[in-house]
Amino acid sequence: MEKDQNQTEIKNASDEKEENLGSETSTNSEKEIQKEPEEKNPDEKILELEDKLARTFAEMENQRRRFEKEKDDAYEYGGFAFAKEALNLIDNLERSKQILSNDESLKNSEALKKTLEHFDIINKDLISIFSKNNIKPIECLNKKLDPNLHQAMMEIEDDQKEPGTIIQEIQKGFTIKDRLLRPALVGVSKKLENAVKKDDENKDNLENK
């Protein structure tokens, strides 16, 4: 009986050893498969390299164009900030003219007349210098409001003008080449309130007939 028991134990140990060996063999085979990925054929490798090369060239071309644009913008609009600040000269001249013109002690005097003439000469010279550098005033009076060029500051009742027409220039606007340097501050026309009421009454009367 002891003999049979010993033989059984030997057999079980042998089976367990075979199972462990089989498991190790399977694991080793999986590792070998993972370590040895399928190699690409030469044509696939060439296509992959061509694709990478094309992407690299495209990226380099995009960078070149971006640098060219930045260089052109720096050349064309490098004085943008300076030009915007220089507009204060024109504004201050205009304010000075208004202050002097409204001074009761100077009204109708020869001194005021000559001073205003000198201010006009300086203003024209400044506009001329700006124009030579492609900084030009925006024409706005009697034109339709354009949000790209004008900024409406007030509405003025005027039944003679079409609504939205610029009838007052509060501050002159300027462009530099094809860019807006600053918008013109303007007053635009709107219909008289009484006229609007009359139009509404006429419509009601027509509808009731």
Residues 203-207, mean pLDDT to the nearest whole number: 59
Residues 39-53, mean pLDDT to the nearest whole number: 78
pLDDT band at residue 3, thresholds of 50, 70 and 90?
A: very low
To 10 degrees, what angle do helices 80-101 and 110-132 make? 160
- Structural contact between residues 175 and 183, judged by C-beta atoms closer than 8 angstroms: no
Per-residue pLDDT, 167 = 92
Per-residue pLDDT, 152 = 93
Which residues have a Cβ under 8 Å from the Cβ of 166 and sit 6 or more positions away? 140, 141, 142, 143, 144, 145, 150, 186, 187, 188, 189
Domain ranges of the chain: 72-133, 136-209
Residues 72-77, mean pLDDT to the nearest whole number: 61
Report the CATH fold assignment for 136-209.
Answer: Nucleotide Exchange Factor Grpe; Chain A, domain 2 (2.30.22)
pLDDT band at residue 102, thresholds of 50, 70 and 90?
A: confident
pLDDT band at residue 21, thresholds of 50, 70 and 90?
A: very low
